[in-house]
Amino acid sequence: MPVLFESQYNPPITFFAALAGADALWLERHEHYRKQTYRNRCLILTNQGVKPLTVPVVDGNRSEKVLTSALEIDYRQNWVHIHWRGLQTAYGGTPYFEYYADYLHDIYVQKIPLLFDLNLALLHFYLRCLRLPIPVEFTAHYSPSYPDPTLLDRRDWLTPKALTRPQPDTTSGWGGTKPYPQTFGKDFVSGLSILDLLFMQGPAAGSFLT
């Protein structure tokens, strides 16, 4: 069954778990941008706990009146350096950071103008890493709901707002993936970016999505 998601920045593991049995991924291209979502934010695990990394957008105060697919990234802020240093600090000692670092860095230094296009470039990279060879399609128009039973609508199913863990398999999407060893803490932390899983498990990461 095809799955419909909004564009997300370094999406959480559960995003990709939802794709493991899907026929295709549809991305919402005609919505208006929403703040404080995974559209421009991801969560990583540091020695001080869960930390958000946020991509700044141009004219942030008016950004919700702009289509997500047309939203420009604000490169006047040194966010690329901040995010990359954050990833190095959190994951530099993990088994597979160096395995993926050059490929990721090449995407970041391109300074892709639009948030949607940056997210898409990262998405294609992660799909290859996870060996998920599914087609990526785009909506032709915006619809608040899709009654078609052959399309699974997962728009805004995942949210970074809740930093505590509710019960697994709730609509916040914090459950549903297999635990794996993490760099910090004794208890497994769910809801993190796919980067956490890739840096820890490398080519075996896909086996944790089912």
First to last CA, the chain: 16
pTM score, two decimals? 0.92
Predicted pLDDT at 162: 56
Predicted pLDDT at 146: 85
Q: Which helix (H) or strand (E) holds 109?
A: none
Predicted pLDDT at 66: 92
* Sequence-separated (6 or more) residues with CB below 8 Å from residue 62: none
Q: Taking the domains of the chain in order of start, what are their residue ranges?
A: 3-208
- Angstrom distance (rounded) from CA 51 to CA 44: 5
Predicted pLDDT at 170: 37
- Length of the chain in terms of residues written: 210
Given a contact cutoff of 8 angstroms between Cβ atoms, the answer to whether 182 and 188 are in contact is yes
pLDDT in tens, the chain (210 residues): 999 999 999 999 999 999 988 999 999 999 999 999 999 999 999 999 999 999 999 987 788 889 999 999 999 999 999 999 999 999 999 999 999 999 999 999 999 999 999 999 999 999 999 999 999 999 999 999 988 888 999 999 999 875 434 333 333 344 557 899 999 988 999 899 999 999 999 999 999 997
- Angstrom distance (rounded) from CA 142 to CA 140: 7
- Angstrom distance (rounded) from CA 118 to CA 129: 17
Query: In what order do the strands lie in the sheet containing 25-28?
Result: 136-138, 25-28, 3-6, 152-153
What are the start-end ranges of the E strands in 56-208? 136-138, 152-153
According to DSSP, residue 70 is labeled G
Q: Report helix, strand or coil for 167.
A: coil
